[in-house]
Copies of this chain bind each other. A is one copy, B any other.
Amino acid sequence: LVSNPQTAPSEVDGVNLEEIREFAKAFKIRRLSLGLTQTQVGQALSAAEGPAYSQSAICRHTILRSHFFLPQEAQENTIGSSLTGKLNPGLLYPARFEKLDITPKSAQKIKPVLERWMAEAEARHRSGMQNLTEFIGSEPSKKRKRRTSFTPQALEILNSHFEKNTHPSGQEMTEIAEKLNYDREVVRVWFCNRRQKEKRMTPPGEPPPTHEGPYSHSGSAGDASSCHDL
């Protein structure tokens, strides 16, 4: 089943999809006009409503966007196009909700919560930024990490590593970080940015400049490489 994406059913399980869809869209706009990120909303929310919600979202809720969007609609709908969010506990709700990346039933269930919260936030906002800040909890815009500045020496080393391998494993990065005495995370980000730069610098047709063996995925054991592990 589910292979039947023709007409948008506007009612499922006694839930008015149209309405939810509408609300999700509006919600995003409202969120943006308060200058809040999904993360902020998510955190504030789970602080306010208890973490009960963010939990259930994670497991279940298969991606049932077909309930809400017809294929072609999805294309046009700039607000809610593709993707399944990164799973960040607090962030989960608003993110998935805005994407309508949940079952109609759950959506229906969260809607009033979001509505209530947003109304409150807006009220606070109107009555002064200070109040909003206070409402959404700690930092309204949690401050940026202080920009690291690498010493020329460190840069040299980083670059030489990069030339040898653009995708160092998590292990390698840890080592590099240790050797240079920078935060591992900082090193990780450096590689991300460096790859990005590389990509921009390499005009269209060009083959990836010299750096040989792209991703030697010669899986050396502890190659959990990816970024997730914190």
Contact = CB atoms under 8 A, between A and B. Distances in A.
Given A182-B217, A203-B100, A224 B1 contact: no
Contacts of A215: 148-151
Contact of A208 (B100, B144, B151, B201): B151
Interface residues of A, number: 48
A36 interface: no
Interface in A197-218: 197, 200-201, 203-209, 214-215, 217
A17 B98 CA distance: 35
Contacts of A201: 66, 99-100
How many copies make up the complex?
2
A81 interface: no
Given A209-B1, A215-B151, A203 B146 contact: no
A103 interface: yes
Interface in A173-215: 182-183, 186, 197, 200-201, 203-209, 214-215
A143 B224 contact: yes
Interface string A136-179: 00000001111011111100000000000001011000000000
A200 B100 contact: yes
Interface in A13-61: 32, 51
A131 interface: no
A108 interface: no
A110 interface: no
A8 to B, nearest CB: 9
Contacts of A197: 99
A223 interface: yes
Contacts of A167: 149
A204 to B, nearest CB: 5
A183 B103 contact: no
B203 A66 contact: yes
A102 interface: yes
A96 interface: no
B12 A204 contact: yes
